[in-house]
Chains A and B, each alone.
Chain A
């Protein structure tokens, strides 16, 4: 039986969150009343001309540098010609040869192993308008009786990031998408909202027998808009293509559509029907010059990238999972670093922050900065737990109260009487009391039957109102029940 492997490449579109559009001064805001953020340029009125937005170029340079790309000192805008009602000029200004960025890569982590995904190119283009198909057709053009057009989105700067066909599994693809989203968010160049379409994926999948050198025929599934869907789309396509091939059929070179509800991809158009885009250099735009000085200015202004942040947090003691969660939130990461600075163990601080603290902020729908927690207080809490002053259940109660803004852990533990008693005389008094009332149990233990030991520990703890250190109780009880 043939063993198959998949070959996967991903094209990602990221809408930049610049103030104005790519080639005109309209606000880059697609959310307003339809057709209110438009002008002669983005509506492609006769005579209107595009002028590139320098802020958008900065955005793509940040992305390209973060992905370790080479930056072309001179890059060229092309026209991609095709007719579609929501494409005002009936060509899209995009790039072809000489994109802004080329030859980069990204490291992703899959099950603890690092995988390197090559980036072929990162290029600049503009978004289209939005079509809304009205009538029977379930929102799709087939069956609709008319279409409404909104050009607010037309001309919003769009960066396209294309990988090499280096991805082999749906899990790697998902990890790639997640890491790319983290990078874009860290750079602050886009809100990268998958559900809102400001970041979206086109997934290219082919399969071939393991060991084969030649690539199989690929399909492209367009506009997949969640990480989970990326994984599901790929799993579905791999499975479908293998079935087709094993049944003696051929995979068709085609564009497919992912249906979120049915979990199935369907054919949109074969590549034979697809357009000849007649790319040519846009004569309205001069080559885009990126001087080495501009490049180094952008490079020196780059924030710390998520992979570096994760590595740094790990060296401070956070475990891999906690480091990942902390790196995704600059607020949590900052609290973590403050706590470690104030003497907390990185491991403990990481677990508290990514466990109880994240759960609390979700449950109460507050930002962590709006709570009463500080790095110093977290360090205080972990120190109390380590010193045996708080049981883990008491520590949770104290942390919630700290988050609620009730004060420092010491104050709260004090006022709520949650401090553990390590005072041996008090515990011994309780043990005396319990042993006196349970002479039978002591006899059994001394006779070699250890069953009642746990019962005695429980009785002592109860006597202490739960505030004794269980370890101390056990040690003392062991001594006192020894024959």
Chain B
């Protein structure tokens, strides 16, 4: 071992690690050892991983090292340890979506994203915790217990991809993947000081992603830098014939404008998300401060009003539960998953399996969605929500005729305390206020950490762009990252628990 100390390797960015691997400073096996050691040191405090695949990751790291040894290079993720949210199917590795109903279920197939990561030589460390079936904003709704925030273990990491956020924040993976239905990547990224990105709907295949709300779900990356985000997204995006909603077109050159700055760009601040009644004042101040810096850097900043965003949350909480009520119907104890021992008819077995297997938030949303789709209520609820969705789309589209990108806070608050909102679903639903509109519109959006609040917790800044506008989005995000100069690391990542 000639390179830096192994413990330090866990703190490298993917780009740095890639350079080190290619210059022979260390091996993929060294990188894997570093993140594994970090996981061993922190898991007792965080509970971010549900499964660590020691055998598979060791084999993948050795294969990557063998590739490097013969000069074979399958791209920027070769040899890089990355983690997957446990709602992505992995051949032969337990996949639960953090639900008791899938306890012990081992998929017989890989999700398309997994196939692509394997083909790119990535090292998949394991599967991370989430709110059951990705329903939640704190990762407290996991049947296997909550994940804690590495910045402050009394706080939530956000959700639903809280496990994937925590592992990348603490260094038990160099990057990770989550799924974002209403903010489930960007919100936890904001709460853990990471870059978290939701791509344009249809850019990343959903095949093998356990569906929550099909018309909103997108897989996307967590990383410590904007550059790493590009590397992760490039590897997993592109047309997939197994997903009928996948866009059959070449993917944009995501990183093509990373170094171009923002001079001459027109950027809109969403005024509805600077409202002190719903957004924390420190977050508003940080957002305004960054807007000013962008202006100083040569961008034209304009205020943009998107009045329909007021109804986005309500529309989302009809559309997503409606789709989930149907998507989760397949969990019935007949072919796989938990089967109740109840005596009685097949129907009794199916209903008891579901009642025993699903947690309370999942049941709440299934009931809500079933009701919203019922005869006599469809028009008033689901139909109306779809009309709002159309309105949101139109409003965003017309905004993008005026501006290149939109900016806002990512979340109304920084990381809240464990238990603080778990008995108040409506308060919890408000966590997604600023992130939901991009899901309804199908547009790309990213959260970049820009500052710490008074409690030392990270504040996320959101950059939104029109569909397939990832290049513009990354261009602004990269400059925001540069202007913010945010270098703080999660306290757990620098504490004595991880000392070598």
A interface residues, Cβ below 8 angstroms from B? 40, 43-52, 79, 81, 83, 85, 88-91, 147, 149, 276, 278-280, 283-286
Contact present for A284 and B102 (CB under 8 Å): no
Q: How far is the CB of A324 from chain B (nearest CB, A)?
A: 44
9 inter-chain pairs at a CB distance below 8 angstroms, sorted by A residue, are: A45-B89, A46-B211, A46-B330, A46-B336, A49-B207, A81-B325, A81-B329, A147-B346, A278-B326
Contact partners of A285 in chain B: CB under 8 A: 244-245
Bound together, the chains give a CA A279 to CA B375 distance in angstroms of 9
Contact of B375 among A44, A83, A276, A284 (CB under 8 A): A276
Contact present for B326 and A46 (CB under 8 Å): no
Per-residue CB proximity of B86-127 to A under 8 Å, as 1/0? 011100000101000010010111010000000000000000
Per-residue CB proximity of B303-343 to A under 8 Å, as 1/0? 00000000000000000001101100111101110000000
Contact partners of B332 in chain A: CB under 8 A: 83, 85, 90
Contact present for B208 and A88 (CB under 8 Å): no
| A283-B214 contact in complex given A45-B109, A51-B241, C-beta closer than 8 Å | yes
Contact present for B330 and A83 (CB under 8 Å): no
Contact of B207 among A47, A52, A79, A280 (CB under 8 A): A47
B55 part of interface (Cβ distance < 8 Å): no
20 more A-B contacts (CB under 8 A) besides A44-B330, A47-B207, A283-B215? A40-B108, A45-B109, A45-B335, A46-B89, A46-B97, A46-B105, A46-B107, A46-B331, A49-B242, A50-B244, A81-B329, A85-B332, A88-B330, A88-B335, A91-B326, A147-B346, A278-B326, A278-B374, A280-B378, A286-B244
B356 part of interface (Cβ distance < 8 Å): no
Contact partners of A147 in chain B: CB under 8 A: 346
Contact of A83 among B88, B214, B336, B350 (CB under 8 A): B350
Contact present for A83 and B210 (CB under 8 Å): no
| A51-B244 contact in complex given A85-B332, A147-B346, C-beta closer than 8 Å | yes
Q: How far is the CB of A111 from chain B (nearest CB, A)?
A: 43
- Nearest 9 pairs between A and B by C-beta? A90-B329, A283-B215, A283-B214, A278-B373, A47-B208, A46-B210, A44-B330, A47-B89, A276-B375
Contact of A47 among B107, B245, B325, B335 (CB under 8 A): B107
Contact present for A91 and B329 (CB under 8 Å): yes
| A47-B374 contact in complex given A83-B350, A284-B245, C-beta closer than 8 Å | no
Q: How far is the CB of B232 from chain A (nearest CB, A)?
A: 20
Contact present for A286 and B326 (CB under 8 Å): no
Bound together, the chains give a CA A88 to CA B209 distance in angstroms of 18
B198 part of interface (Cβ distance < 8 Å): no
Contact of A49 among B88, B102, B243, B331 (CB under 8 A): B243
Bound together, the chains give a CA A147 to CA B206 distance in angstroms of 33
| A48-B207 contact in complex given A85-B346, A280-B382, A283-B214, C-beta closer than 8 Å | yes
Contact present for B109 and A40 (CB under 8 Å): yes
Contact present for A85 and B350 (CB under 8 Å): yes
Q: How far is the CB of A463 from chain B (nearest CB, A)?
A: 82
Contact present for B242 and A51 (CB under 8 Å): yes
Bound together, the chains give a CA A285 to CA B335 distance in angstroms of 24
* Chain B positions 206-230 with a Cβ under 8 Å from a chain A Cβ: 206-211, 213-215
Contact partners of A91 in chain B: CB under 8 A: 326, 329
Contact partners of A46 in chain B: CB under 8 A: 89, 95, 97, 102, 105, 107, 210-211, 330-331, 336
Bound together, the chains give a CA A88 to CA B337 distance in angstroms of 13
Q: How far is the CB of A36 from chain B (nearest CB, A)?
A: 14
Contact present for B347 and A83 (CB under 8 Å): yes
Contact present for A284 and B105 (CB under 8 Å): no
Bound together, the chains give a CA A91 to CA B97 distance in angstroms of 21
Contact partners of B214 in chain A: CB under 8 A: 283-284
Q: Which residue of A lies closest to B369 (CB)?
A: A278
Contact partners of B111 in chain A: CB under 8 A: 47
B411 part of interface (Cβ distance < 8 Å): no
Contact partners of B36 in chain A: CB under 8 A: none
Q: Which residue of A lies closest to B337 (CB)?
A: A46
Count of B interface residues, CB-CB < 8 Å:
45
Contact present for A284 and B244 (CB under 8 Å): yes
Bound together, the chains give a CA A40 to CA B109 distance in angstroms of 8
Contact partners of B208 in chain A: CB under 8 A: 47-48
Q: How far is the CB of B216 from chain A (nearest CB, A)?
A: 8
Q: How far is the CB of A294 from chain B (nearest CB, A)?
A: 17
Bound together, the chains give a CA A137 to CA B325 distance in angstroms of 33
Bound together, the chains give a CA A90 to CA B335 distance in angstroms of 12
Contact of B210 among A47, A79, A276, A278 (CB under 8 A): A47
Contact of A278 among B89, B108, B209, B370 (CB under 8 A): B370
Contact partners of A47 in chain B: CB under 8 A: 87-89, 107, 111, 206-211
Bound together, the chains give a CA A147 to CA B331 distance in angstroms of 18
Contact partners of A45 in chain B: CB under 8 A: 89, 107-109, 335-336
Contact partners of B211 in chain A: CB under 8 A: 46-47, 284
Q: Which residue of A lies closest to B374 (CB)?
A: A276
Contact partners of B329 in chain A: CB under 8 A: 81, 83, 89-91
Q: Which residue, A47, A48, A83, has most C-beta atoms of chain B within 10 A?
A: A47
Q: Which residue of B lies closest to A79 (CB)?
A: B326
Bound together, the chains give a CA A159 to CA B347 distance in angstroms of 28
Contact partners of B322 in chain A: CB under 8 A: 280
Q: How far is the CB of B246 from chain A (nearest CB, A)?
A: 9
Contact partners of B241 in chain A: CB under 8 A: 51
Q: How far is the CB of A342 from chain B (nearest CB, A)?
A: 53
Contact partners of B215 in chain A: CB under 8 A: 283
Contact partners of A284 in chain B: CB under 8 A: 211, 214, 244-245
Q: How far is the CB of B134 from chain A (nearest CB, A)?
A: 12
Contact partners of A79 in chain B: CB under 8 A: 326
Q: How far is the CB of A185 from chain B (nearest CB, A)?
A: 31
Contact partners of A149 in chain B: CB under 8 A: 334
Bound together, the chains give a CA A52 to CA B111 distance in angstroms of 19
Bound together, the chains give a CA A285 to CA B243 distance in angstroms of 9
Q: Which residue of B lies closest to A86 (CB)?
A: B334
Bound together, the chains give a CA A90 to CA B242 distance in angstroms of 21
Bound together, the chains give a CA A418 to CA B479 distance in angstroms of 104
Q: How far is the CB of A226 from chain B (nearest CB, A)?
A: 29
Q: Which residue of B lies closest to A77 (CB)?
A: B244
Bound together, the chains give a CA A48 to CA B109 distance in angstroms of 10
Bound together, the chains give a CA A40 to CA B241 distance in angstroms of 15
Q: How far is the CB of A480 from chain B (nearest CB, A)?
A: 90
Bound together, the chains give a CA A51 to CA B330 distance in angstroms of 18
Bound together, the chains give a CA A85 to CA B351 distance in angstroms of 11
* Chain B positions 28-55 with a Cβ under 8 Å from a chain A Cβ: none
Bound together, the chains give a CA A90 to CA B87 distance in angstroms of 20
Bound together, the chains give a CA A47 to CA B243 distance in angstroms of 10
Bound together, the chains give a CA A48 to CA B207 distance in angstroms of 6
* Chain B positions 341-359 with a Cβ under 8 Å from a chain A Cβ: 346-347, 350
Q: How far is the CB of A205 from chain B (nearest CB, A)?
A: 25
Bound together, the chains give a CA A36 to CA B388 distance in angstroms of 45
Contact present for A43 and B206 (CB under 8 Å): no
* Chain B positions 374-404 with a Cβ under 8 Å from a chain A Cβ: 374-375, 378, 382
Contact partners of B336 in chain A: CB under 8 A: 45-46
Q: How far is the CB of B50 from chain A (nearest CB, A)?
A: 15
Bound together, the chains give a CA A47 to CA B322 distance in angstroms of 17
Contact of A280 among B88, B89, B326, B350 (CB under 8 A): B326
Contact present for A44 and B335 (CB under 8 Å): yes
Bound together, the chains give a CA A280 to CA B88 distance in angstroms of 25
Contact present for B335 and A51 (CB under 8 Å): no
Contact present for A280 and B373 (CB under 8 Å): yes
Contact partners of A48 in chain B: CB under 8 A: 109, 207-208
Contact present for B347 and A49 (CB under 8 Å): no
Contact partners of B243 in chain A: CB under 8 A: 49, 51
Bound together, the chains give a CA A47 to CA B91 distance in angstroms of 12
Bound together, the chains give a CA A52 to CA B331 distance in angstroms of 23
Contact partners of B334 in chain A: CB under 8 A: 85, 149
Q: How far is the CB of B56 from chain A (nearest CB, A)?
A: 19
Q: How far is the CB of A79 from chain B (nearest CB, A)?
A: 5
Contact of B244 among A43, A49, A88 (CB under 8 A): A49
Contact partners of B210 in chain A: CB under 8 A: 46-47
Bound together, the chains give a CA A91 to CA B327 distance in angstroms of 9
